[in-house]
Amino acid sequence: MQNPSEISPASGRLGVLLAGLGAVTTTFMAGVFAIRKGLAAPTGSLTQMGTVRLGKRTDGRSPLIKDFVPLASLDDMVFGGWDIFNDNCYEAARNAEVLNPDLLERVRPELEAITPWPAVFDQHYVKKLDGPNVKTGGSKRDLAEQVIEDIRRFKSEQNVDRLVLIWCGSTEIFMEESAVHSSLELFEKGLDDSDPSIPSSMIYAYAAIKEGIPYANAAPNLSADVPALEQLAQKTGSPLAGKDLKTGQTLMKTMIAPGLKARLLGVEGWYSTNILGNRDGEVLDDPESFKTKEESKKSVLDHILQPELYPTLYSDLHHVVRINYYPPRGDNKEGWDNIDLVGWLDYPMQLKINFLCRDSILAAPIVLDVALFLDLAQRAGMKGIQEWLSFYFKSPIHSRDLYPEHDLFIQLMKLKNTLRHLRGEELITHLGLEYYD
């Protein structure tokens, strides 16, 4: 065993700041309030229900993760955030139509108490949305300072000890890194000049990191994953995670593709289509926002299947991703996959997956876990990119010297081994030869 890392206790209140108070975030908050009242179980949350094996299989040690590492208690979480609409969180949750009205009524006072602060928003980056509750300023630097003022005011008024900020806003248009992102000096000049290469999500990321607050991007757009903000995170000690929560169809891909590769079954084609009718679907109906999501969803298979190592099996894979906005479906997303396989002696086979899922129900426990693990990371002195949280994201941010790890099972092993490392426990390799010596 190694020496455990020094981790500050999770004492006091944890403020969770949310940029975007829509379906996902209101479902997350309503769920936390319901769990506190004993109205529901935290299904889907690794931090609340997951276990971690310690030592040998014969040792019989598998504590709950929340008992193994010092996580903040759900009772100590306080919420605040920004949105372009004026609805309080109860009204926003009702409008989202994700949760049963009976459940919402039982957490109504807590949700009604959370009203959105004016948001940083520019329709250039999200063309399908507009709203009245928007900040104005002379420059993007001014907008960032306003976000910082909101953060400081919330921390003071709510008597909060620690903070985490998660971007849960709509998918912004596809953008690539440019010169303004290459260094902190150029980025801050870009804020002064209101450079168009700095979208709204980046302003939130800058404000959070500048304040030394952990930041996560739940959407696929470019945000904190640029050199300038990665440099700032190292300077201020802010852990970073992202991007694009892995909930439905891509979750299935990162489960199924590793199995096909493990058995060395060829894949000729993978056709994926989705229908959904929530605000996310409406935003993705814009081609520029869809391109951001498409890039995120399509990157998974190349890295899992590694066609450069297995050209016979995967080099000619035809991968198609479609998302269709269909209002009658609401938040109840349907993902359909057709996978054309090749087996022994080149005989063809097919696998079809039809996942009728609930988008925000799958996303909410991820928001909870990411918030709690980022807070843990900061208390453990970890800063910058937290690759061990790749488990939760479609496009995991990572060191620029590495390729991203997309295999769900390797991601989970990395996450749990990181927790073992923090507590000074032996890492699990699954070698197991000692049982047969």
Tell me which H or E stretch contains 270: strand 266-276
The superfamily CATH assigns to domain 249-356 is: Dihydrodipicolinate Reductase; domain 2 (3.30.360.10)
pLDDT category of residue 1 using cuts at 50, 70 and 90 = low
120 has a pLDDT exceeding 70: yes
Q: Give pLDDT, residue 295.
A: 76
**Residue-wise pLDDT tens digits, 308-330:** 999 999 999 999 999 898 899 88
**Residue (of 338, 334, 322, 356) closest to 277 by Cα position:** 334
Residue (of 276, 279, 222, 218) closest to 246 by Cα position: 218
Judged against a pLDDT cut of 90, whether residue 404 lies above it is answered with yes
* Phi, psi dihedral angles at 198 (to 5 degrees): -110, 100
Angle between helices 200-210 and 227-236 (to 10 degrees): 20
- Both structure tokens of 136: 């104005």
Task: Give the number of other Cβ atoms within 10 Å of residue 14's Cβ.
Answer: 22
Instruction: Check if the beta carbon of residue 264 is closer than 8 Å to that of residue 382.
Output: no
Strands 77-82 and 318-325, bridge-based pairing = unpaired
Residue 298 scores a pLDDT above 80: no
SS3 content of the chain, % helix, strand, coil (to 5): 45, 15, 40
pLDDT per residue as tens digits for the range 45-58: 999 999 999 999 99
Residue 280 pLDDT: 75
Rounded to whole angstroms, the Cα distance separating 27 from 92 reads: 10
| Residue 103, both tokens | 């459940």
Q: What pLDDT shows up at residue 288?
A: 77
Half-sphere exposure of residue 186, counting CA atoms within 13 Å on the CB side? Answer: 13
pLDDT at 336 over 80: yes
Q: Do residues 422 and 4 lie in contact, with contact meaning Cβ atoms separated by under 8 Å?
A: yes
Kindly report the number of other CB atoms within 10 A of residue 334's CB atom.
Answer: 17
The residues of the chain that CATH labels 3.30.360.10 are 249-356
pLDDT for residue 18: 99
Q: Are 378 and 214 in contact (CB under 8 A)?
A: yes
Q: Is 266 helix (H, G, I), strand (E, B) or coil?
A: strand
Residues in the chain: 437
Q: Are 241 and 391 in contact (CB under 8 A)?
A: no
Q: Which fold has domain 14-245+361-422?
A: Rossmann fold (3.40.50)
pLDDT on residue 78: 99
Q: For the chain, give every residue range classified as CATH 3.40.50.720.
A: 14-245+361-422
